[in-house]
Amino acid sequence: AQSVAQPEDQVNVAEGNPLTVKCTYSVSGNPYLFWYVQYPNRGLQFLLKYITGDNLVKGSYGFEAEFNKSQTSFHLKKPSALVSDSALYFCAVRDRKNSGGYQKVTFGIGTKLQVIP
C-alpha cells in the first residue's frame, strides 16, 4: 500500500523568508511524487513532480522539492515566500511497483501555508 504523511496542519512564515512544507511517504517499490496547491473553492494546481533522475526538482512559481530516498521524504521549498503563496498544499505519491499500470495517486491530508505580510 502507498501512503503519504504531511506532519504539519499549518505552516506560518513571514513574507520574504524561506518556506518548507514537509512530506514523507511509504511505498513498497520506488515512488513517483507530486506536489499540488489548492486555493479556496478551487481545484488542484500541479506544482512539480519527481519521476527519476536529479533529486532536486524545480517547479512552477519558484517552488522546488528535494527527493530523499533514505529519509523517504519529498519536502517542498521556496527561497522567498509571497503572500500570494498562502494556500493548501498537497503531497501525493504513486507506487511505481504496484501502480497496476494506472494512475491511482494517494494524497496527504494537506498543509495550510500562511504567509504573513
Catalog residues that contact another protein under the rule CB under 8 A: 4, 32, 34, 36, 42-46, 49, 51, 90, 92, 94, 96, 99-110
Contact residues for 14 (Cβ-Cβ < 8 A; gap 6+) = 81, 115, 116
Neighbours of 71 (CB within 10 A): 10
Q: What minimum distance in Å lies between the beta carbon of 44 and another protein?
A: 4
Minimum CB separation of residue 103 from another protein in Å reads 5
Query: Which CB atom, from 15 or from 112, has the smaller least distance to another protein?
Result: 112
> Which amino acid would we find at residue 86?
S
SS3 assignment for 18-59: CEEECCEEECCCCEEEEEEEECCCCCEEEEEEECCCCCEEEC
In the bound complex, what is the minimum distance in angstroms from residue 110's beta carbon to another protein? Answer: 6
**In the complex with another protein, which residue's Cβ is closer, 87 or 92?**
92
53-to-47, 66, 79 alpha-carbon distances in Å: 18, 11, 22
Minimum CB distance to another protein smaller for 15 or for 96 = 96
User: 42 vs 69, which CB is nearer to another protein?
Assistant: 42
